[in-house]
Amino acid sequence: MIPALEISGLSATLANGARVLRSVSLTVEPGEVRALVGESGAGKSMIGKAVLGVLPPSVRIAEGRIGLEGTDLGDLSAKARRALIGAKTALIPQDPLTALNPSRRIGPQTTDRLTKILGWDGTRADARIRQLLDEVQIRDPERVLRSYPHELSGGMRQRVLIAAAFAAEPRLIVADEPTTALDVTVQKQILRLIAALQREHGTAILFVTHDLGVVAKISQKVTVLYAGKVVEEADTPALFADPKHPYTRALMAATPKYTDPFASLKPVDEAVLAGLATEIAAADRDWRAPHG
Amino acid sequence: MILQRFLTRLLTMAVTLFGVAVVVFVVIRIAPGDPIAMMLPPGASQADIDRLRALYGLDKSIVEQFFIWLAGVLHGDFGTSISLRQDVLGLVMNRLPATLELSIVALLIAVAVGGVLAVIGARERGTAVEAGIDVANGAALSIPDFLWGLAFILVFGVLWPVFEISGRVSPRLELPFVTQFYLFESIFRLRFDLTKDLLSHMFMPALALALPLAAIIAQLLKQSLKELLSLDYVVLARVKGFSETQVILREALKNAALPTLTLVGVQFTFLIGGTVIVERLFSYEGLGNMAIDAVINRDLPLIQGIVLVFALLFVLINLAVDMLYAVLNPRLRHG
């Protein structure tokens, strides 16, 4: 089966030559949810941005390939890449408060990909978004579609964004910490909705998060990232049952537990980090950015 | 909410206009130069001078004069021009359309040129193209409108005469117009031959007025666009598959235009102020050109009338900008 997403040996550097991604390889099979977990700054969002072709200008892909359903993004012209990403992928963004244009109504914002990029007619796009709004349990689509973003709550906006992401039946959705910016109570509902829609539509998801609790709930596969380097990759149950890498174990130990909320929070063990630093330094010695 | 804003604005406008009226009235009477002395031949008797002074009401105290004038203005009587011996309101209304047309054409040129440069600059951010636009903006900004006017007269009027450099319309033409809005009326009457002639006269003064404003719009709008282009909803639009130009036009332009709009309102009033010298330069028969004559002739009623009309124009523009801002910004509309 052709993977929905296949990344192999992806390295990225900043303008000053510093590596932010270190030969990252991962695949997301069709219909599968792969969590990409790591601390902030580990480069997990960077991978999502690379897949969607929206890396900041300061970041350059040095080597490696990104394949969307078997098509290598590097082989395409900028325009063709834009079109392919628009047709095959979608993004559920981190912060629903900033991911909607404040001066455009929800209706046109959520259907413009369908009508302007995929060439659907307005009636079909409208029917489609209403169906999706129903799936994310928005009961008054009429009002919501006519609203401006500031007239909706954060949770509502995230539902709208989820509906819009699924509306075009993308092959792959990148969910970039979609619950981080929300209230704890809303987080669970949103997570459940994403899981439900994912099952219903069979969409592959690359789920970027720093929260191991979320990983356990939503994903079948996990990739653990540290400093732009994959340190462990496993099926989700296997990872939780038997974490192989010391960093993964340290990360789990550092996760607060609801069963014991008063236990003091432990940072990741220093010795583990020192070991990782040595590992990464060794890898970087052998690596030289192509084209200088 | 909007109504309340509107009413508050109306009140401030009235106060502003009153203040302008007072200041102008006093200043032009303190300034040296006696209009009566200029009307009479040298050696006129003191009795003649006094008689003429009384005729124009200049023998009364300044406070009395002001309230007589103000009472007249409130009844639509702006007095009689001393140098032209005609009703001031009629003179001003006869010339105002020419200046309005010139200013609006200049504004349209500024918005079009500045807007296009801003979008191109934002799309090509960080490249030589953007740097080139920055340099051009700097040049356009650092040269005042009347110098641009002189340069255009030299280049397009003398060296390579493609545009008219004097007047508002060719004198040989028969004009069927009933209003003074020649340009708008020529379009309305589908007399495009006249439109072409009018534009040919208007283009250089309008461009001279427009260039500094175009540079300001280009610079400010480009900056606002660049700030917006890293925002989440813009990134989301790129993921949807929109090209960079589409992203700028669809997602960023309207939001970036809001801060620019306020500035354009203020700058537009400067542009209208600039018509005074630029109209003179191109012998364009507008209000600004008449203002200079009025000042040279110490024509107190005419100066007062022109300044008051300019002031009214400025407060109306600010009001329009305010209202437009509320319409364009949905958060203000519902707030």
Residues B171 and B144 in one domain: yes
- Which pLDDT tens digit goes with each residue over B38-90? 777 878 888 888 888 888 888 888 899 999 999 999 898 998 898 888 999 99
Q: Which among A85, A95, A109 has CB closest to B241?
A: A85
In a domain, B82, yes or no: no
Q: Mind listing the pLDDT tens digit for each residue in B93-115? A: 999 999 999 999 999 999 999 99
Collapsed DSSP state (helix, strand, coil) of residue A221: strand
- What's the domain range around B231? 91-334
For the A5-286 domain, the top CATH level (class) is: alpha beta
What does DSSP say about strands A59-68 and A33-38: parallel, antiparallel, or unpaired? unpaired
**Between chain A and chain B, how many beta carbons pairs sit less than 8 Å apart?**
73
Kindly state whether residues B271 and B299 are assigned to the same domain: yes
Number of structural domains in chain B = 2
pLDDT at position B335: 40
* B190 and B276 share one domain: yes
Give the tens place of pLDDT for each residue, A163-200: 999 999 999 999 999 988 888 888 999 999 999 999 99
Residues of A at the B interface, defined by Cβ within 8 angstroms:
52-54, 56-57, 79, 82-83, 85-87, 89-91, 93-95, 98-104, 109, 112-113, 116-117, 148, 150-151, 161
For residue B45, being part of any structural domain is answered with yes
- List helix spans (H) across chain A: 44-52, 78-88, 106-112, 122-135, 141-146, 154-167, 184-201, 212-218, 236-241, 246-254, 270-286
Residue A133, Cα to own-chain centre: how many angstroms?
21
* Same-domain check for residues B61 and B100: no
Q: Do B241 and A94 touch (CB under 8 A)?
A: no
If asked whether residues B54 and B167 sit together in one domain, one would say no
d(CA A60, CA A20): 9
Give the residue with greater pLDDT, B37 vs B17: B17
Residue with more model confidence, B290 or A255? B290
Within a domain: residue B86?
no
> Cβ neighbours of residue A3 under 8 Å, at least 6 residues apart?
A27, A28, A29, A30, A67, A69, A70
Q: Are residues B289 and B159 in the same domain?
A: yes
> Do B95 and B70 share a structural domain?
no
Report the alpha-carbon distance of residue A97 to residue A182 in Å, rounded: 10
SS3 A52: helix
| Whether residue B168 sits in one domain with residue B257 | yes
Tokens of B242: 């929109």
ipTM (interface predicted TM): 0.88
Return the residue of B nearest to A94 by Cα.
B232
How far is Cα B232 from Cα B246, in angstroms, rounded to an integer? 16
The answer to whether residue A141 scores a pLDDT higher than 90 is yes
Q: Which residues pair with A63 in a beta bridge?
A: A11
- What is the chain B residue with the closest CA to A111? B240
Mutate to test the interface with A, among B233, B246, B327 (most CBs of A within 10 A): B233
The domain that holds B128 is classified in CATH as 1.10.3720.10
Does residue B36 sit in the same domain as residue B97? no
Among chain A residues, CA nearest to B238: A54
Q: Is the pLDDT of residue A207 over 70?
A: yes
| Length of chain A in terms of residues written | 292
DSSP for B151-214 reads HHIIIIIIIS--S--SSSS-TTS----SSS-HHHHHHHTT-HHHHHHHHHHHHHHHHHHHHHHH
